[in-house]
Structure 1
Amino acid sequence: MKIVAFAGSTSSTSINRELVKFVLRSFPDDTVNLLDLNDFEMPVFSVDREKKGFPEQAHQFLAAIAESDVIICSMSEHNKNFTAAFKNIFDWCSRINVKVFQDKKMFLMSTSPGGYGGGNSMALAQKNFPAFGADIIESFSLPKFYENFDEENGVINPELLNELNAKIADFKQNVQ
């Protein structure tokens, strides 16, 4: 099983990237392509710019998804929405292929420092990603990241860790 993984953030200290990396420990290293959204920086999408052609980075992002069997992502949240960086990549890619996620099975996550765990961006993704070709098999939101996550050990809250492990196991079972 080939995995493409990413966090919906360009921050060098992204907590969503840390969550993705923690979950990826449950999968063989040789099957993972962990994307960095900084590698897909492109002009802000507009219809006028689209008329001039599509950035190569949008094609590269879509190619990475095409080469995978499943997607593991954690959506960051800015002002109760996706980050501008992710939304821009998504906008460009959706104009090339409306099924951005190409009917791949997805493990969707989010986290934030607050108690809602990035729930707004998670809800947006759960509602909209299926229309763009995502088959969301499992989802997980980690609230209060700095209280429930340790860089060395990952998720340290036993209840949340049990929930996450159960969802990882279910995801693995459903993608075999």
Structure 2
Amino acid sequence: MKVLAFAASNSENSINQKLAAYTASLITDAEVELLDINDYEMPIYSIQREVKLGKPQQALDFYDKITEADAIIISFAEHNGSYTAAYKNLFDWTSRIDMKVYQDTPMLMLGTSPGPGGAASVLASASGSATYFAADVKGELSVPNFFDVFDIVTNKVVNKQLQASLIELVGKLGK
């Protein structure tokens, strides 16, 4: 199975990237590609820019990465209760290639934050709109208090309940 995992964040020290990578590592016999959305930075989307520029290569490349994947793991960072500007822009450009951005690929949606909210607002928004973009969401999980449940030195979950939840989630990708 080829798994595409990434954070919907452009932070160089993204805790969501750590969560996505860790979750992907729990899938046995998987080829994991950990994507950095910083590699897909583009001008802020507008119809005028689309007319002038066409579809940027970065959006086409991102869409192709999704096409090649057998499963996707996205961990959403939350900025003021919503998507990060970096991910929203990448998503907007990619949706202009095909509204079915996720191409019915089985996926897990995660979100985490240092505080008690666990990126729950953006996760609810993402999962609530997922069907409009052909997402086959197999499961979702909000992870509050990231630094209490994850050891950033070893890059491992240290909370047994969270570990069990993640193992259960990755099990759903094969179904």
Q: TM-score, normalised by structure 1?
A: 0.93
**Residue in structure 2 matched with residue 87 of structure 1 by the alignment:** 88
SS in structure 2 of the partner of residue 51 of structure 1: helix
Backbone CA RMSD of aligned residues: 1.3
Q: Distance in 1 between matches of 2:15 and 2:104?
A: 27
User: How far apart are residue 79 of structure 1 and its match?
Assistant: 0.5
User: How far apart are residue 153 of structure 1 and its match?
Assistant: 5.2
Letter paired with 1:157: N
Structure 2 unmatched ranges of 5 or more: none
Q: Distance in 2 between matches of 1:109 and 1:158?
A: 17
Q: TM-score, normalised by structure 2?
A: 0.94
Letter paired with 2:145: K
Cα deviation 1:61-118 (Å, max 9, x = unaligned): 0000001111111011100000000000000010110000011110110000111210
Structure 1 unmatched ranges of 5 or more: none
SS in structure 1 of the partner of residue 114 of structure 2: coil
**Residue in structure 2 matched with residue 36 of structure 1 by the alignment:** 36
Matched, 1:171 2:168: no
**Residue in structure 1 matched with residue 121 of structure 2 by the alignment:** 120
Cα deviation 1:3-45 (Å, max 9, x = unaligned): 1111001111000000011112213576112110000000000
**Residue in structure 2 matched with residue 10 of structure 1 by the alignment:** 10
Q: Distance in 2 between matches of 1:170 and 1:71?
A: 12
Q: Distance in 1 between matches of 2:68 and 2:25?
A: 20
**Residue in structure 2 matched with residue 64 of structure 1 by the alignment:** 65
Tell me if the contact between 2:76 and 2:110 (Cα under 8 Å) persists in the aligned partners.
yes
SS in structure 2 of the partner of residue 34 of structure 1: strand
- Identity score, percent: 43
Matched, 1:161 2:163: yes
